[in-house]
Amino acid sequence: DTQTQTHRQTDTQTDRHRQTDTDRHTDQRWQKQNLLGGGNKYSKNTCKNVTFRTVDPHVCCHLPDKGLTRSLKLSPTSPAFRPYRGRSSKPIFVQIAKQVVNLNPTELRLPSRAWKVKLVGEGADDAGGVFDDTITEMCQELQSGVVDLLVHTPNSFADVGSNTDRFLLNPAALSEDHMVQFRFLGILMAVAIRTKKPLDLHLAPWVWKQLCSMPLGGPDLEEVDLLTYRNLLVPVVPGGQNISLTFVNRTEYVERALDYRLHEMDSQVAAVREGMSTIIPVPLLSLLTAQQLEQLVCGLPEVSVDMLKKLVRYRDITESQQLISWFWQSLEEFTNEERVLFLRFVSGRSRLPSNPADITQKFQIIKVDRPINGLPTAQTCFFLLRLPPYTSQAILAERLRYSIHNCPSIDMDNYMLTHNTDPADSHQQGDECIFSDAMHYMH
């Protein structure tokens, strides 16, 4: 559908070439007429979401049979990092990227999780929780500088204007390895849309606009680089450093300078779109606004207590009991940053989808018969929290805070498998037994 593919394209030749190159690799199964049948039954936004998530269902009816390895001992952001002579650090993002880009794209178009993660030297098998935790680890690496694909906005460095907490694609990341990693970033974004498991990424609106092929202008540059006109040092015409800026040529200078800055990330954006195109119909991204695409990929940054209450299921305890009242009171008193840590503690994820209907797994709370005022434990593969009895709400809040701050990731050895498994949950062990137990780190 040519009209769909060219919708909202920019007027510059660079943008036209960029989108054409990506769309040329898009399989015929992505054609609009094959995707939007019966769309009049849905609202516009629902129809768009269904379109991206129901493509080619025949390849999405089985669990992943591809296992990827992850080693925390090689990740420089992990507390388990063990550098030694002859071996360099290798971020989890890089470890997984090298494996995923060699897979057949049809094997990644799954509705729950796109691959299984085999943990090297860790005591857990992947039944979903390890996949979620690995995605969260990779997002943290991207935004911590360990992987150099993203950079803070210039406004962040200058501490002026808006989007000071946001990231842009790194225009200096141009090597072949960088392009492979950008394609993998696109795969991650598309997998997040397909699986309804958001990524914890804080990208500037500029990036989402480019991914949707929306035109950029001066206001977009101002949102990320308020001081650009005062600090522009790159010659924008041949021999520009030898040409004096005059009243006569001022218009050409501003136009060329603006065009340079607005398109300095085109290669990186094209690589991300190419990765996305292996999983979802990239031409149809032009149907979305930048905000809609960001919500599909990243959900909402705020962890809503009300949403968690709608998802909860109690076991061996009722909503009316004091322990549950204390728990929700504690969660409501937490800052959003603490609620994000809590969500990762119990699920492996850092964000919830923007639409509650996209959350297919219930949040479970179990009362366990353990020593009073002990530390809570969690099983990420089942979105499950175990609470021992407490003598006050303050102690419950303190123990919960300690756990979420001191156990940000899954158990790193077999301690939990042998020391902290409830017999009542033996039927759930199956493929995975992942515990987030802060008590382990006290030994």
How many beta carbons lie within 10 A of that of residue 411, not counting itself? Answer: 23
Nearest CA among 128, 317, 91, 297 for reference residue 328: 317
Nearest CA among 208, 211, 225 for reference residue 261: 225
Contact 366, 317 (CB under 8 A): yes
Structure tokens at 232: 């522009």
Active site residue 407: no
How many beta carbons lie within 10 A of that of residue 279, not counting itself? Answer: 24
Helices (H), 84-204: 92-100, 129-144, 154-158, 176-195
Contact 272, 20 (CB under 8 A): no
Distance of alpha carbon 435 from its chain centroid, rounded?
22
Q: State the Cα–Cα distance between residues 407 and 437, nearest whole angstrom.
A: 7
Q: Which H or E element spans position 49?
A: helix 44-53
Beta strands in 162-283 (DSSP E): 167-169
The one catalytic residue among 139, 381, 407, 433: 381
Contact 390, 373 (CB under 8 A): yes
Q: Which residue has the tokens 């509705």?
A: 111
Contact 190, 280 (CB under 8 A): yes
Q: Write out the DSSP string of 86-107.
A: TB----HHHHHHHHHTTS-GGG
User: How crowded is the C-beta side of 262, counted as CA atoms within 13 Å?
Assistant: 23
Catalogue the active-site residues.
381
